[in-house]
A and B are shown apart, each in its own frame.
Chain A
Amino acid sequence: MCRHLSPVGNVTYRESDTPRGRALMLDKVSQQPQLLENPDFQSAIYDAELSAACRTHCVSHFDEAGLLLAARRDIVESGKIPAVVKQVADSIKALKLALKGDAKAEVIYYVDRYTERYQPEMAAATEKILKAAGVSFQIISGADTGKALAVLGCWNEAKETAEKFAKSIRGVGKKVLITSCPASYDLLKNDFPKYGIDLANELEVLHTSEFIRRLVKAGKLSLRPSTAQSVFPLASDFLGNYNTGFTAHEELAALAGVTLQPFGFNREESYTAGEGGVVMDELNPRLVAKLVEHVLEQVDNPSQDMLLVLSPYTKYVLSKFATKKLHLTTVEELIAARIKE
């Protein structure tokens, strides 16, 4: 089974961090469920990057991420949640949502935790774009949508959190909800129905890049001509493997006259440093540092190359853990910098 698809395996070199090692482990667990309590098995299950690359690139479309998520849920439901996972889950549960701005606005902009805490420049760029296009918006922020809890295996708490999130935006009329966070986008688009939450008649969920593309195409935003900059995109797990066919960022880059160059030599590996794990930096920062180093090794020219990062999580961990300074940008920042004033 494909070893080239396993970023964690590619930095730890451990068999239990490869798709085959994980499959063997889960198969053994299905024979002997008590093994879910084994700390070695638990740590391998929680160290997984969950990039879901196997869904897209495996010739047999082995759903490794789906199986690992199910195993995490089994661990939590058996009451054997590892201490670090419980600690992270508790801190997420304690967060409170806040909705600000004019209730009549056309758009709700969800600012996820990573953007809010570590990447205010992404939120600033998004707000600048919305204002320039004359779009009225409300901001919802302060808490998780439920995705982080779901990925930690805390299904019931994830459902409750998602319901709270839905309640806070329900009944505000038909709106577009945008977010820069690919994990939240995935939850709002794909997981809500699994929790029995139906907002389809009220909300259109878009990633910020999809919404900005719409604004540019509608002529609501005009962009300065290209400076012919070469940019290397780091594909997103949630906007790629979990939601295949997502190309808004590529189209936007083209509209902005930016040439995208392929990043890294492994065309199928995830270079998000654990975006699929949503809060991987909180669970195992040492491992994330190794994943970041692995990404860094692929940058031909760290002092010059501009990396286009598609998630606030990835931007944060690359800024925090890289041992060399990297030039990082996001779709929001790239476009905001090109708005004709």
Chain B
Amino acid sequence: MSNNLTTIMESSRHAGRSYVDAMIRSELTDAVGADYVSSNAADQLGHSIDYYWIPEMWHDRGRDNPKAQYIVHPGSAEEVAKVLRIANNYRIPVTPWGGGSGSQGGALPMYGGIILDTKRMNKVIHIDTEALTMTVETGMNAQHMEWAVEKKGFSTMHFPASIACATIGGFLAHRGTGVLSTKYGKIEDMVMSIEVVTPEGEIINTLPVPRHASGPDLTQLYLGSEGTLGVITKVTLKIHPIPQCRKFHAFLFKDMHQAMTAGANIMRSRLRPCVIRLYDEPETARLIKRVLGIDKQGAYLVFGFDGFESVVDLEMTEAIRICMRENPEDLGEELGQAWWDNRYKFFYPPYMFHMPQAFGTLDTVATFANIEKVYWAMKNVVNQNFPEAAFIGHYSHWYEWGCMLYARFIVDQPPKDPEEATAYYNRIWDMAIRAAIANGGVINEHHGVGLKLGRLMKDLYGPAFKVLADIKKVMDPNNIMNPGKMGFRGV
């Protein structure tokens, strides 16, 4: 974007509106309709903060966050294309916004410009009961989508803790995941195909099926691109029959290592639990105690199976047998079911952390050989350099080869000054993530990169990052799509 235009737009925002603003606004209005273009102060505030701690803290300390000049709500891919063509013409940055529930600052309009809010694209287009797929517009709230398909007797099996606030487009953009991912996969495993509006306003579709030998997989290129390569406007997802039953069982192990051995053995046995969740000792003491009332020392592990009852019972028996080899305390079905019933509570007040505390989810993933090393490397670096910080963690999403670590740091009294607090917060992240990378982890497993972790992308990818940066350059020559995120060039 030209610096002059930024300056003109900035000054028009502060010193009354200029004709530049009026011209752009009229073009946007022509593209999406008068009801769907806003420069309303209340909307600008709402779009200036997602769930990234820095803007929340900035707001909490009475500071203003960067705001979009225009918030547009296109109702179709065609309208998205029109908006992107206008933005290209004037070189205005465009930041897609779904539910604003991202924790990485991905949807923040850091350079002002246009917020392209997708929520108006919220329709179910088709449910295919033969192939078991559904096609929806990506601005659809994930809870709405689930209920719509449940009404037809199916389920997406995508149950993230933010189901009620996030859009399906947000999950695609961040490679998100849900609580049943261990059996049903992350969002990238659920996708058949997508429709995308490219930065230059072309509407394209990826191949109709996810398995092929017809060149590299375009769908997977867009998944996780966080609005930097275009706007995903439609998706066809797999859906599933509602299982006859879903059962849970919980154990308390002496320590996290024993519990990890049991969890890894379940996965290596090739049983297919829909969920395994393992809490380290500090999180068992802190959260499992508060939410489930289990006031015991050790590491809590819960797993579940779903499907035909006879099969589930068999799988349960085998998984229990595997766990018992590590000599845990058997907490039974009830304390497993209680975890499922309360699964969203862990992520919301009063159990979730809140201002003025500083907190962050250091989520990563590694092989079974590395995951505990990653845990200890992160924990040690946080404990040694920031003794005031608590470090807790659980392992949420399990694969045949490893699992995901959902670690968190919590600081009760971070610096009051927002600049200092920002620097302090970033130091924790830099050290912890670099420790993860050094031990075979990655910078993130399902929350994405955004503004928060962009600077660490080169540490993670090494020279391979140039490939990503070149793709971005070719696909978005005017760098209008979400500039400055994911480690890509800013304005």
Q: Which of A4, A9, A41, A265 is B42 in contact with, Cβ under 8 Å? A: A41
CB pair A15 B100 closer than 8 Å: yes
CB pair A28 B141 closer than 8 Å: no
Residues of chain B with a CB closer than 8 A to A265's CB? 144, 147-148, 150-151
CB-based nearest B residue for A42: B42
CB pair A16 B45 closer than 8 Å: yes
CB pair A20 B42 closer than 8 Å: no
Residues of chain A with a CB closer than 8 A to B73's CB? 13-14
Residues of chain A with a CB closer than 8 A to B41's CB? 38, 40-41
Q: Which of B36, B38, B59, B344 is A59 in contact with, Cβ under 8 Å? A: B344
Residues of chain B with a CB closer than 8 A to A60's CB? 348-350
Whether A14 touches B165, Cβ cut-off 8 Å, given contacts A265-B144, A265-B147, A265-B151, is: no
CB pair B42 A21 closer than 8 Å: yes
Assembly CA distance A18 to B97 (angstroms): 14
Within 8 A of A (CB), among B128-173: 139, 141, 143-144, 147-148, 150-151, 164-165
Asked if B186 lies at the interface with its beta carbon under 8 angstroms from chain A, I say no
Residues of chain A with a CB closer than 8 A to B344's CB? 59
Assembly CA distance A251 to B97 (angstroms): 44
Whether A4 touches B38, Cβ cut-off 8 Å, given contacts A13-B73, A15-B100, A16-B45, is: no
CB pair B349 A20 closer than 8 Å: no
Size bin of chain A's contact surface: 20 to 34
CB pair B165 A2 closer than 8 Å: yes
Within 8 A of B (CB), among A248-280: 265-267
Which 7 pairs from chain A and chain B are nearest by CB?
Answer: A15-B46, A21-B46, A16-B42, A2-B164, A40-B41, A13-B119, A44-B42
Asked if A1 lies at the interface with its beta carbon under 8 angstroms from chain B, I say yes
Whether A25 touches B349, Cβ cut-off 8 Å, given contacts A13-B117, A13-B120, A15-B100, is: no
Assembly CA distance A25 to B46 (angstroms): 7
- Chain B min CB distance to A245 (Å): 20
CB pair A5 B164 closer than 8 Å: yes
Asked if A201 lies at the interface with its beta carbon under 8 angstroms from chain B, I say no
Assembly CA distance A38 to B43 (angstroms): 12
| 15 more CB-based (< 8 A) A-B contacts, given A38-B41, A38-B42 | A12-B35, A14-B73, A15-B43, A15-B46, A16-B40, A16-B43, A20-B100, A21-B46, A24-B49, A25-B45, A28-B59, A40-B42, A41-B42, A44-B42, A58-B348
Residues of chain B with a CB closer than 8 A to A229's CB? none
Assembly CA distance A117 to B344 (angstroms): 45
Size bin of chain B's contact surface: 35 or more
Asked if A91 lies at the interface with its beta carbon under 8 angstroms from chain B, I say no
Assembly CA distance A286 to B143 (angstroms): 27
- Chain A min CB distance to B408 (Å): 18
Residues of chain B with a CB closer than 8 A to A58's CB? 348
- Chain A min CB distance to B413 (Å): 20
- Chain A min CB distance to B44 (Å): 8
- Chain A min CB distance to B288 (Å): 17
- Chain B min CB distance to A34 (Å): 12
Asked if A3 lies at the interface with its beta carbon under 8 angstroms from chain B, I say yes
Asked if A31 lies at the interface with its beta carbon under 8 angstroms from chain B, I say yes
- Chain B min CB distance to A268 (Å): 8
Asked if A27 lies at the interface with its beta carbon under 8 angstroms from chain B, I say yes
Assembly CA distance A157 to B147 (angstroms): 43
Residues of chain B with a CB closer than 8 A to A13's CB? 36, 73, 117, 119-120, 139
Asked if B62 lies at the interface with its beta carbon under 8 angstroms from chain A, I say yes
Asked if B257 lies at the interface with its beta carbon under 8 angstroms from chain A, I say no
CB pair A3 B164 closer than 8 Å: yes
Whether A59 touches B147, Cβ cut-off 8 Å, given contacts A14-B46, A15-B46, A24-B46, is: no
Assembly CA distance A12 to B33 (angstroms): 12
CB pair A3 B46 closer than 8 Å: no
CB pair B147 A267 closer than 8 Å: yes
Assembly CA distance A339 to B344 (angstroms): 47
Asked if B99 lies at the interface with its beta carbon under 8 angstroms from chain A, I say yes
Asked if B458 lies at the interface with its beta carbon under 8 angstroms from chain A, I say no
Whether A24 touches B164, Cβ cut-off 8 Å, given contacts A4-B144, A59-B345, is: no
- Chain B min CB distance to A12 (Å): 8
Asked if B47 lies at the interface with its beta carbon under 8 angstroms from chain A, I say yes
Within 8 A of A (CB), among B372-431: none
- Chain A min CB distance to B381 (Å): 32
Assembly CA distance A41 to B42 (angstroms): 5
- Chain A min CB distance to B390 (Å): 21
Listed A/B pairs (17) with beta-carbon separation below 8 Å: A3-B99, A3-B119, A4-B143, A4-B144, A13-B36, A13-B73, A14-B40, A15-B71, A16-B46, A21-B43, A21-B46, A40-B40, A40-B41, A41-B42, A44-B40, A44-B42, A265-B144
